[in-house]
Amino acid sequence: MASTTQACLLLQKQLRDLCKRPVDGFSAGLVDESNVFEWSVSIIGPPDTLYDGGFFNAIMSFPPNYPNSPPSVRFTSDMWHPNVYPDGRVCISILHPPGEDPNGYELASERWTPVHTVESIVLSIISMLSSPNDESPANIEAAKEWREKRDEFKKKVSRCVRKSQEML
Nearest to 4 by CA among 69, 64, 63, 61: 64
Nearest to 28 by CA among 139, 112, 154, 121: 121
Q: What is the pTM of this model?
A: 0.93
Mean predicted confidence (pLDDT) in 73-97: 97
Q: Which of 8, 19, 91, 160 is catalytic?
A: 91
User: How far from 72 is each of 60, 64, 96, 126, 152, CA to CA, in Å?
Assistant: 6, 12, 9, 15, 29
Q: Are 111 and 101 in contact (CB under 8 A)?
A: yes
Q: Would residue 19 show up in a list of annotated catalytic residues for this protein?
A: no
140-148 and 150-166 are packed helices; what angle lies between their axes, rounded to 10 degrees? 120
The DSSP output letter for 90 is B
Please provide the CATH number assigned to the domain covering 2-166. Answer: 3.10.110.10
- pLDDT, one tens digit per residue, over 92-128 is 999 999 998 888 888 888 999 999 999 999 999 999 9
